[in-house]
Amino acid sequence: MFKNKSYIGISFVILIFGIYAVPKIIDRIQDGSIVKGARLDNVSNEETKGDKLVLIGPVPKFDLTNQDNQKVTNEAYKGKVYVLEFFFTKCPSICPKMNVSMLEIENKFFGNPNFGIISITIDPEHDTPKVLKEHAAELGVRSSSWNFLTGDKAAIFDLSNKGFNLYAGENDKVNGGFEHSGLFALVDKEGNIRCRKDDFGNPILYYDGLDKKGVREIQQDITILLAE
């Protein structure tokens, strides 16, 4: 008899708690606050501002030759927002996809005098200015601010691996004989590498040129930098 009364009392307490708490829980689920702690709220607030991109550091200096056999340096792009990649014309794997992504970016900002693109070959022995000019024509490049650059092989590999910390290397076991990342660097008007933060509040450093999301994000951030 005593046990039955205890059970009835416990059931009554649970019922009262449910009447009071369940509507509040439902409200929190509907407004999304049920999944947000104080730390998550802080990260979310930083991510949704969108008005400040992380400054990584100054772009490494370079002095290379473009498809028109003209010298191009990092100083020539001061005052412009630009995207930079490493590639090579005979690349049979990721470069075609990178080309499509970069052409999409070119089309988005075509005609803007404050925007440019730089594509640096990691196979300069083959990719002469003449070859690069033919490659640009085959891609259908329209912008005069898109430079395809070549130069000393050792200097280019240092620029990629040490300057930008974007991997590039030779490997005779892979198709094409070279390996490199599919990442794009974003540079602001002052010559600084910039990027957004990931979902955890960490700088992404570079943008994935092989992924639609990465291409969409870099276009959004180009717009931000052009407005600065």
pLDDT for res 182: 95
Predicted pLDDT of residue 177? 76
Tell me, what's the pLDDT at 52? 83
Give dist(CA 108, CA 101) in Å, integer.
11
Cβ atoms of residues 170 and 178 within 8 Å: yes
What confidence score (pLDDT) does residue 206 get?
A: 98
Report the pLDDT value the prediction gives residue 172, as an integer from 0 to 100: 79
Q: Can you tell me whether residue 74 is helix, strand or coil?
A: helix
> Mean pLDDT per 10-residue run, the chain (228 residues)?
46 44 41 33 34 91 98 97 97 94 98 97 97 98 96 97 94 82 97 97 97 97 97
**DSSP SS3 for 54:** strand
